[in-house]
Amino acid sequence: MALKATICKAVLRIANVDSHYYHDHSLTLARHPSETDERMMLRILAFALHADDSLQFGRGISTDDEPDLWQKDLTGVIERWIDIGQPEEKLIRKACGRAREVFVYSYGGHDAGKWWHRVGAGADRCENLTVHHVAQATCKALASLAGRNMELQCTIQDGHAWMASDDASFEVELVSLKTAT
């Protein structure tokens, strides 16, 4: 018998001073049985960093033709494609061909450096691609906030982000590997 997804709920309060976006979101996430707390919380972080009323979670970790998050315009054109992890170069190029903007948030310590060394040269040609590596300390801090019901705050100011709950607060450390041109 296959394991079912775990439903997690989060109230996410976003204060993005840089873009003047102040909004509360009630998020419902289906957590695949193979998904870690770290990866689920990275999806929430990506949502906070790109928050918009039309930003949506994709079908999940088991679907290759959809991102973890995406934003479409009213005609169905994909404006923003956001992946968490270390997608293959072929999938990155495909995403860049389908969306106006593509963001990848890699994580995983030394393996992420090897991944970028392997796919970076080919992905460098994608002008609409931005790649960030999430520092290991940030991943661990995010994972410590995970739960079935969460209340989180994200503050973004001067290009820096902070995540917080009632019990913890920390700065989000991102290393830029590639910026869209």
Tell me: pLDDT of 144 over 90.
yes
State the chain's mean pLDDT as an integer. Answer: 93
Tell me: pLDDT of 1 over 60.
no
**Per-residue pLDDT tens digits for 18-54:** 999 999 999 999 888 888 999 999 999 999 999 999 9
Q: Bigger pLDDT: 35 or 13?
A: 13
Q: In the prediction, which pLDDT does 33 show?
A: 85
Domains and CATH numbers, the chain: 6-178 (3.10.640.10)
* 72 pLDDT tier (thresholds 50, 70, 90): very high
Helix ranges (H only) for 32-166 are: 37-49, 89-98, 110-123, 136-144
Angstrom CA distances, 73 to 45, 54, 55, 143, stand at: 22, 8, 10, 32
Average pLDDT over residues 152-180: 96
Instruction: State pTM to two decimals.
Output: 0.93
